[in-house]
Each structure stands twice: as structure tokens, then as C-alpha cells.
Amino acid sequence: MPKIVFLPHQDLCPEGAVVEAKEGETILDAALRNGIEVEHACEMSCACTTCHCVVREGFDSLDESSELEDDMLDKAWGLEPESRLSCQAKVANEDLVVELPRYTVNHAREH
């Protein structure tokens, strides 16, 4: 079973975390199942960027992002080449190291 190492995040997991993931489940599902409350304002429908993450290791094991995901990622704060929406990135058979950005853009919360 692949593991996801979540790097320390000031609010979501200050000590960092190592969780087991099921092949085919999203990074977001694995995080939520393990008590890491990553924002997901659009309820995982690929319509916002609140679940943006950066896959520091294991990025190449993920399926390619869709055109819709790429369009959404263009709006994400702190976009990097290894950025993905955690609601869309499905775990394969390789361990991942994931960084959750310090900031996120949540238009619903800002109004």
C-alpha cells in the first residue's frame, strides 16, 4: 500500500504526517480520511483551487492532469510545475511526498 508523506503545515498538520493510501484514491481522500482537513470548497468537482498541493516526490507516478484541472491550477496561489489539485490526483503504486501550500484562494469564504 503506497504511503503519502504530508510535509508539516502550520495549521493542517504542524508535525507533518505519514498516511497509507489506497491505490486509485485521491490525495485529498487520503488526507481527509486521516484527519488532515484540506479545504475543498467545490466538494471535489474540480471547480476551484482550495485543495491545491505540490507533489514533491512521486509526481511522475500520477496520471496526467486533465485540461480542466490545468485551467483551474492556473488560478492557484503559489503554482509550481509539480502542482496538482488533490481532489483530482489519484495515488498510483508509488509513495508520494506532498506539500500543502500555506495559502489558498477560497472565493466563497472571502465574501
In this structure, is residue 27 part of a structural domain? Answer: yes
Report how far residue 34's alpha carbon sits from residue 59's, in angstroms, rounded to the nearest whole number: 21
In this structure, is residue 24 part of a structural domain? Answer: yes
Q: What is the pLDDT of residue 106?
A: 57
Report how far residue 111's alpha carbon sits from residue 62's, in angstroms, rounded to the nearest whole number: 34
What domain range includes position 31? 3-104
Give the chain's radius of gyration (CA, Å). 13
Q: What is the pLDDT of residue 2?
A: 97
Report how far residue 49's alpha carbon sits from residue 87's, in angstroms, rounded to the nearest whole number: 10
pLDDT in tens, 51-95: 999 999 999 999 999 999 999 999 998 999 999 999 999 999 999
pLDDT band (50, 70, 90) for residue 102: confident
The whole-model pTM stands at: 0.92
In this structure, is residue 32 part of a structural domain? Answer: yes
Tell me the sheet residues that pair with 53: 84
Q: What is the pLDDT of residue 15?
A: 96
In this structure, is residue 75 part of a structural domain? Answer: yes
Domain count, the chain: 1
In this structure, is residue 29 part of a structural domain? Answer: yes
In this structure, is residue 67 part of a structural domain? Answer: yes
In this structure, is residue 109 part of a structural domain? Answer: no
Q: The domain spanning residue 91 has which CATH number?
A: 3.10.20.30
Q: What is the mean pLDDT of residues 7-33?
A: 96
Q: What is the pLDDT of residue 109?
A: 46
In this structure, is residue 26 part of a structural domain? Answer: yes
